[in-house]
Amino acid sequence: MVRAAILPAVGAPLEITGIELPEPGPGRVRVRLAAAGVCHSDLSLSNGTMRVPVPAVLGHEGAGTVVSVGEGVTHVAPGDGVVLNWAPSCGICHPCSIGEVWLCADALVGAAGIHARTADGTELHPGLNVGAFAEETVVAANCVLPLPDGIPLTDAALLGCAVLTGYGAVHHSARVRAGESVVVLGVGGVGLAVLQSARIAGASTVIAVDVSPEKEALARAAGATEYLVASGTTAKEVRGLTGGRGADVAVECVGRAATIRTAWDATRRGGRTTVVGIGGKDQQVTFNALELFHWGRTLSGCVYGNSDPAKDLPVLAEHIRAGRFDLGAMVTERIGLDGVPAAFENMLAGRGGRALVVF
């Protein structure tokens, strides 16, 4: 038995309890978790914004050590450090065949399977494939990526979602160029990764926006040159900081209609707005036909940073080893499994950056 955080039903409180994991069969890997990040997507799963089969073991951003492997697994071995990949690509569907692995049609097929059981025999699904809110997990082999050399195992958990998403939003989706101005709406875990990535890209002005004035020091440490407390005049303030034009790029990390609209309004004519935040289907964003023509802006969604983890992890590792990207600076709280519900409450209240469950 290992301890895990279980979502018994959509909208229900998390339960911390023991679960029984199977031994890894062919093409499977058992991993002992070192740490797991508490991501807003886990909150979205718990409240039904995103749907997965339940009951489920939540947690999708993690890193750990391989305990054992099943038949046919050759890319990792017991004792290896690994990063969990919650959205593995199948390699054969249409998006994969054209290089858009982040849109793999079968990426979440594993979430429908049976992952583990409670002591009374209740079957559990793996939330977003990996069930990282547990001392150990068993996952498909394509859900584990070898940990690059020189990366601390505990902090490496953040690579599994927040960092790949934030880095990819800047470098793959928005394609920020040196000298451009960037505004980032939402300074949570992903927002902090976006700020660091914008700095790496050579952005000249990096404006962080959040509802909490307490996050200013955190945002500036991550690379923000300016900080704004979100208000009804945010777009106007951004224009005032960018020569009256608006930012070249806006990255929205909240997932609300109001902030998506603000991000759009804060970009210059011909600018690019990338939406990273995951909002509910009731969050309707409206535009009129004339403004679409007049402003000539680009609005794009962004899934998992439009990243290919196998290719992007080595690049990120080099930035980390060189001191350009600081994983530890993103962590504002280190907790145990019992602290996950409180971490959810902090996210709802807009407090902190990334909470990290350390096993």
Reported as a single tens digit per residue, the pLDDT across 289-314 is 999 999 999 999 999 999 999 999 99
- Mean pLDDT, residues 271-286 taken together: 94
Tokens of 175: 């394609």
Instruction: Give the span between the Cα atoms of 168 and 158, in whole angstroms.
Output: 14
Pick from 6-20, 40-54, 73-87, 191-205: least confident = 40-54
Pick from 37-46, 94-103, 328-337: least confident = 37-46
Q: Phi, psi (5° rounding) for residue 267? A: -95, 155
Instruction: Give the span between the Cα atoms of 200 and 333, in whole angstroms.
Output: 25
Confidence tier at 67 by pLDDT (50, 70, 90): very high
Say if strands 28-38 and 136-140 run parallel, antiparallel, or are unpaired.
Answer: antiparallel
Confidence tier at 48 by pLDDT (50, 70, 90): confident
Confidence tier at 50 by pLDDT (50, 70, 90): confident
Tokens of 324: 């350009």
pLDDT at 6 over 90: yes
Give me the chain's average pLDDT, please.
95
Instruction: Give the span between the Cα atoms of 237 and 77, in whole angstroms.
Output: 53
- Mean pLDDT, residues 62-87 taken together: 97
Instruction: Give the span between the Cα atoms of 86 and 345, in whole angstroms.
Output: 23
Of 248, 230, 231, whose CA–CA distance to 239 is shortest? 248
Residue 348: per-residue pLDDT: 84
- How far, CA to CA in Å, does 108 sit from each of 43, 53, 60? 17, 11, 12
Q: Are 75 and 142 in contact (CB under 8 A)?
A: no
Confidence tier at 40 by pLDDT (50, 70, 90): confident
State the angle between helix axes of 340-349 and 40-47 in degrees (0 to 180), rounded to the nearest 10. 100
Pick from 275-279, 330-334, 350-354: least confident = 350-354
As a whole number of Å, the end-to-end CA separation of the chain is 15
Instruction: Give the span between the Cα atoms of 133 and 57, in whole angstroms.
Output: 7
Say if strands 61-69 and 298-301 run parallel, antiparallel, or are unpaired.
Answer: unpaired
| Percentage of residues of the chain with pLDDT beyond 90 | 91
Beta strands in 21-109 (DSSP E): 28-38, 56-57, 61-69, 81-84
Tokens of 11: 């909208």
pLDDT at 188 over 90: yes
Q: Which residues pair with 355 in a beta bridge?
A: 38, 333
For the stretch 212-268, pLDDT in tens is: 999 999 999 999 999 999 999 999 999 999 999 999 999 999 999 999 999 999 999
Instruction: Give the span between the Cα atoms of 30 and 324, in whole angstroms.
Output: 32
pTM above 0.85, yes or no: yes
Q: Are 32 and 136 in contact (CB under 8 A)?
A: yes
Confidence tier at 275 by pLDDT (50, 70, 90): very high
pLDDT at 350 over 90: no
What is the CATH superfamily name and number for domain 166-303?
A: NAD(P)-binding Rossmann-like Domain (3.40.50.720)
Instruction: Give the span between the Cα atoms of 147 and 154, in whole angstroms.
Output: 11
Length of the chain: 359
Residue 347: per-residue pLDDT: 86
Residue 49: per-residue pLDDT: 85
- Mean pLDDT, residues 3-8 taken together: 96
For the stretch 108-139, pLDDT in tens is: 999 999 999 999 999 999 999 999 999 999 99
Instruction: Give the span between the Cα atoms of 280 and 19, in whole angstroms.
Output: 31
Pick the CATH number of 2-147+327-358 from 3.40.50.300, 3.40.228.10, 3.90.180.10, 1.10.150.530: 3.90.180.10
- Mean pLDDT, residues 91-111 taken together: 95
Give every CB contact of residue 14 below 8 A, 6+ residues apart in sequence. 5, 6, 7, 46, 58, 340, 341, 344
Q: Are 83 and 103 in contact (CB under 8 A)?
A: no
Rg over alpha carbons for the chain, rounded to the nearest Å, is: 20
Q: Range(s) for CATH 3.90.180.10 in the chain?
A: 2-147+327-358
Say if strands 2-7 and 56-57 run parallel, antiparallel, or are unpaired.
Answer: antiparallel
pLDDT at 315 over 90: yes
Of 146, 170, 167, whose CA–CA distance to 326 is shortest? 167
Instruction: Give the span between the Cα atoms of 281 and 284, in whole angstroms.
Output: 7
Residue 351: per-residue pLDDT: 83
Residue 153: per-residue pLDDT: 96
Q: Range(s) for CATH 3.40.50.720 in the chain?
A: 166-303
pLDDT at 352 over 90: no
Residue 47: per-residue pLDDT: 86
Instruction: Give the span between the Cα atoms of 229 and 215, in whole angstroms.
Output: 9
